[in-house]
Amino acid sequence: MSKTKKNWKKQLHEIIYEADTPAGKLFDVVLLIVILASILLVMLESVKSIDNKYHDFLNISEWVITILFTIEYIARIITVNKPTKYIISFYGIIDFLSTIPKYISLFFGGIHALAALRALRLLRVFRILKLARYLGASNNLVRAIKASRAKIAVFLFAVLIVAIILGTIMYLVEGEENGFTNIPRSVYWCIVTLTTVGFGDIAPQTPLGQFLASLVMILGYGIIAVPTGIVSAEYSNQNKTPSTNNPTPQVHLNSQSCANCLASKHQDGAKFCHNCGHPLH
Measured CA to CA, the distance from residue 85 to residue 275 in angstroms comes to 14
What are the C-alpha distances in Å from 192 to residues 153, 216, 217, 226?
18, 11, 10, 18
Quick count: other Cβ atoms within 10 Å of Cβ 18? Answer: 23
Of 52, 161, 245, 269, the residue at the interface with its own copies (CB under 8 A) is 161
Q: Is 164 in the site for its own copies (CB under 8 A)?
A: yes
Name the residue nearer to its own copies (CB basis): 85 or 185. 185
Query: 210 in the Ramachandran plot: left (φ > 0), alpha (ψ -120 to 50) or beta?
Result: alpha
Measured CA to CA, the distance from residue 235 to residue 248 in angstroms comes to 19
Q: Is 220 in the site for its own copies (CB under 8 A)?
A: yes
Q: Is 77 in the site for its own copies (CB under 8 A)?
A: no
Measured CA to CA, the distance from residue 110 to residue 73 in angstroms comes to 24
| Least CB distance to its own copies at residue 96 (A) | 16
Of 141, 263, 270, 276, the residue at the interface with its own copies (CB under 8 A) is 141
Q: Is 26 in the site for its own copies (CB under 8 A)?
A: no
Of 30, 74, 78, 233, the residue at the interface with its own copies (CB under 8 A) is 233
Q: What mask, x for binding its own copies by CB under 8 A, covers residues 35 to 54?
A: ----x--xx--xxx------
Residues 6+ apart with CB under 8 A from 7: none
Of 21, 84, 232, 267, the residue at the interface with its own copies (CB under 8 A) is 232
For its own copies, which stretch binds (CB under 8 A), given 29-37, 188-196, 253-261, 271-279?
Answer: 188-196
* H or E, element range at 132: helix 132-137
Of 78, 126, 252, 272, the residue at the interface with its own copies (CB under 8 A) is 126
Of 214, 249, 252, 268, the residue at the interface with its own copies (CB under 8 A) is 214
Q: Is 120 in the site for its own copies (CB under 8 A)?
A: yes
Measured CA to CA, the distance from residue 11 to residue 79 in angstroms comes to 9
| Least CB distance to its own copies at residue 270 (A) | 25
Q: Which residues of 151-176 are buried (b: 16+ CB within 10 A; e: fewer)?
A: eeeeeeeebeebbbebbeebbebbee
| Least CB distance to its own copies at residue 174 (A) | 12
For its own copies, which stretch binds (CB under 8 A), given 65-73, 99-107, 219-227, 259-267?
Answer: 219-227
